[in-house]
Structure 1
Amino acid sequence: MKLKRESYGIVMMLGHLCADISGGALPAILPFLVTQKGISLASAAGLTFALSSIGSVIQPVFGSMADKHSRPWMMCLGIFMSGCGISMLGFLDSYWAMFAAVAFTGIGSALFHPDGGRMANYVAGERKGRGISNFSVGGNLGGAVGPMLAVFGISRFGLKGTAILAVPAFLMAAFLLSQTKTLAGFANEGAQATKAAMAAGQKDDWKGFGKLTAVTFLRSTLSIGMTTFIPLFWMSVLLQSDARSGTTTTIIAFAGALSTLIGGRLADRMGFNRVIRSGLVMYIPCLLVIIFSRWMGLSTIMLIPLAMSLNLAFSPSVALGQKLLPNHVGLASGITMGLASSFGGVISPILGKVGDAQGLPTVLWILVGVAVVACVGSFFVPDAPEAVKVPASSQAASQKTN
């Protein structure tokens, strides 16, 4: 079945959704593992580390490979692997077996994202902010659907109900496999356009990209810290049930998905760096309200602007990275969506140990400090450069060469 070109933007969004369902479910599963498997807060954060860090380290390698030669089947394999790992958590008793299963999902996610982000860029046309925001919102929706599926499966079947997370991933992997020929054609067109632009003088801004990456590292710490420790804060400080604590992740994910859609569209109009810094500025007072409040109603309401402010910067960061490295779109995607965006997974075990020793409010205060540094750093990030105009003759010559 061959779809219209514009429909493949939605296909990539849905692929992103299915690739991130299992990873999105992990924070909602952690409270169950703490209460039913007896793991510590530091061990729970270690599982977040396995998901975010192991796969993300190799994601730029996959991105660089995608720039040299597109392999759409790797996206299919990545989605399949992402569904295999965390879905097995309910069947495992050994912590290190859990760690390996979560890491397997992380590697699958690393396989999908660089090619997925690169493909989303190619089918987006001139409105890159909007195209990348559509793609990115799939990840947010995966973060929303994952916790709901996990809580539903566990409430119906016990911890073994985590197996339900594999179903959408397997179905989407099979569908994308049937579309590999068309996707390979899009990738070839994109490679030809890049080659023609390079011949016309298109350059990469590595210095600007380095500044963006540093801010993305800090933003990732805020994101992983929020999704990992807010549910635990609800359970340990606000004294809510593990099931209700897990649903905070769904609220965060849905609010983040809406903000991701808005962020990309605003970036196309206002500038990418302006949207990034605006989101980081708004994040700080929202988190302060949650730290000081002990009223459940207010705390729950504040989850919405908290998630929206942070996710406002996500898709502009990815799209801006691709614009700063237009000759290495796959590598830029692998770094901004993988290595840099998953840096929080490296920090989260440290924050978990702080939480075990000093309490979860201390962890949230650390996140406030990180947010202040990220906010200051965002004012040094450049905006997207002007696109190089490619003469029609150069474009034709590039296509003829290929």
Structure 2
Amino acid sequence: MSSSSLPKTSTTPPSASASDAKRTIFSVLLAISLVHLFNDSMQSVIPAIFPILKETMQLSYTQIGWIAFTINFTASIMQPFVGLFSDKRPTPALLPLGMAFTFTGMLLLALAPSYTAVLVAVVFVGLGSAAFHPEGSKVSNLAAGNRRGLAQSIFQVGGNAGQSLAPLLTSLIFVPFGQFGAIGFTGVAAAGIIVQIFIARWYNGTLKSGALNKKARVARAIKPELKQRIRFAMVVLILLVFIRSWYVSSVGSYYSFLLIDQFKVGVGEAQLYVFLFLAAGAVGTFFGGPLADRFGKRNLIFISMAAAAPLALLLPYANLLWTGILLACVGFIVTSSFSVTVVYAQMLVPGRIGMVSGLITGLAFGLGGIGALVLGNMIDAIGISPVMQICSFLPILGLLTFLLPSDQKLSEWTDGASD
């Protein structure tokens, strides 16, 4: 298909032709970001409902941790496999199909009569997330043109914005309406399915144009003698994802309980402070990509951890006013590297976009779930305040970023394939 066959004014979703290779297709990026917002806002229903489930079902912190672990681990296990499958056999239908799983999970959650039924519901939500993220990241990459950092930020900011809604959902929906309030999100899932059908049509056009095959061929550009060094860099990157995920999980899942215990605030007010952290993280995600395009992806990953470290250490000892200020600052800084980490991983292993994206984002979910489970057990054992103090040291480990090769070195390793 030639680039002239579809006029710019056409209402038909454009296919990715040769002329699209360096053109950033914002309509597709905004659409996939919107669905990412839908997907992650529904996923954020799970932590948002924690205070309600804890009270109505008389759950322990450990049981709360198991719910967080279930959804995150389900998503994390499946994402790399979905990505690997889609790299070998791209399947646009996975996009609306994944949202249908999420629709089912929301319906089951609203009606769940027991703790076991809640776990089953969140498995469906996790499967929907696993189906969406690798393919969504691949769509973002295909629509990026030569602005990969910006494109990944647009994609990820939708997800982080959706995650940031969890505290507001608690205050505005689950406190007044209880668990059944989740029924409203079936409408969000239905809207997501409609948008996904549009995106799947565009994605199918890229397959027919052969653009995806052209991107896949760069996998052969990796020099065989550098594979061991690339594996080591990937291990370091995964460790950094581990550190960031545990810290974000500690704040997102449990900091509201610390505020309730320490400052005697209500559930709704405590959740607003967590919202500050997550919303600032969404803003940081958006700015992180363009900054990484300009100053380097490894540099941005390092700064996001190093600059957050002193503020994170101060956070557990701050009064209520400074808690809000510090949560916003730390959220903005530490999450600014989220999308950058995915793009850096794609540079490490070019031509395996779906698998690598699924691995990194899946690990972020899975390790966050493991963190929530471990932290829940620790809180039951020693109390919430000591655990939050321990977690405040995690961003210091971001110094490990120095073990990663620079962006220039990566370009040399892959013969410029990541350019």
Counterpart check, 1:191 vs 2:215: no
Counterpart check, 1:376 vs 2:399: yes
- Structure 1 residue identity aligned to 2:124: F
Specify the alignment match of 2:375 in structure 1: 351
Give me the whole-angstrom Cα distance separating, in 2, the residues matched to 1:34 and 1:255.
27
Give me the whole-angstrom Cα distance separating, in 1, the residues matched to 2:148 and 2:263.
41
Give me the whole-angstrom Cα distance separating, in 2, the residues matched to 1:187 and 1:232.
48
Give me the whole-angstrom Cα distance separating, in 1, the residues matched to 2:291 and 2:404.
17
Give me the whole-angstrom Cα distance separating, in 1, the residues matched to 2:363 and 2:296.
24
Specify the alignment match of 2:8 in structure 1: none
What percentage of residue pairs aligned between the two structures are identical? 26
Q: Is the CA contact (8 Å cut-off) linking 1:56 and 1:342 kept in structure 2?
A: yes
Q: Shift of residue 322 of structure 1?
A: 0.9
Specify the alignment match of 2:191 in structure 1: 171
Q: Shift of residue 282 of structure 1?
A: 2.1
- Structure 1 residue identity aligned to 2:385: P
- Structure 2 residue identity aligned to 1:163: I
Pairing 1:253-332 to 2, within 5 Å after superposition: 253-293=278-318, 295-332=319-356
- 1:234-270 residue CA offsets vs partner (Å, 9 max, x unmatched): 2222221112222333222210111001111111011
**Farther off after superposition, 80-89 or 41-50:** 80-89
- Structure 1 residue identity aligned to 2:195: F
Give me the whole-angstrom Cα distance separating, in 1, the residues matched to 2:320 and 2:106.
30
SS at match of 2:314: helix
Give me the whole-angstrom Cα distance separating, in 1, the residues matched to 2:168 and 2:187.
14
**Using a 3 Å threshold, how does the CA distance of structure 1 residues 323 and 309 change in structure 2: closer, same or farther?**
same
Q: 2:258 aligns with which of 233, 236, 260?
A: 233
Specify the alignment match of 1:104 in structure 2: 124
Q: Is the CA contact (8 Å cut-off) linking 2:216 and 2:352 kept in structure 1?
A: no
Specify the alignment match of 1:364 in structure 2: 388
Q: Is the CA contact (8 Å cut-off) linking 1:114 and 1:331 kept in structure 2?
A: yes
- CA RMSD, aligned part only? 2.1
- Structure 2 residue identity aligned to 1:45: G
Q: 1:69 aligns with which of 84, 89, 94?
A: 89
Specify the alignment match of 2:163 in structure 1: 143
- 1:198-223 residue CA offsets vs partner (Å, 9 max, x unmatched): 46667773332222112112211112
Give me the whole-angstrom Cα distance separating, in 1, the residues matched to 2:265 and 2:298.
38
- 1:141-193 residue CA offsets vs partner (Å, 9 max, x unmatched): 11133443453222443331121222212211123124423212225544222
Q: Is the CA contact (8 Å cut-off) linking 2:137 and 2:155 kept in structure 1?
A: yes
Q: Is the CA contact (8 Å cut-off) linking 2:48 and 2:169 kept in structure 1?
A: no
Give me the whole-angstrom Cα distance separating, in 2, the residues matched to 1:267 and 1:148.
30
SS at match of 1:39: coil
Q: 2:133 aligns with which of 106, 109, 113?
A: 113
Instruction: Using structure 2 for the length normalisation, give the TM-score.
Output: 0.87
Which consecutive residues of structure 2, in runs of 5 or more, have no partner in the other structure? 1-10, 15-24
Give me the whole-angstrom Cα distance separating, in 2, the residues matched to 1:7 and 1:231.
37
Give me the whole-angstrom Cα distance separating, in 2, the residues matched to 1:153 and 1:301.
25
Give me the whole-angstrom Cα distance separating, in 1, the residues matched to 2:165 and 2:198.
24
Give me the whole-angstrom Cα distance separating, in 1, the residues matched to 2:80 and 2:315.
35
Which consecutive residues of structure 1, in runs of 5 or more, have no partner in the other structure? 391-402
Q: Shift of residue 120 of structure 1?
A: 0.3
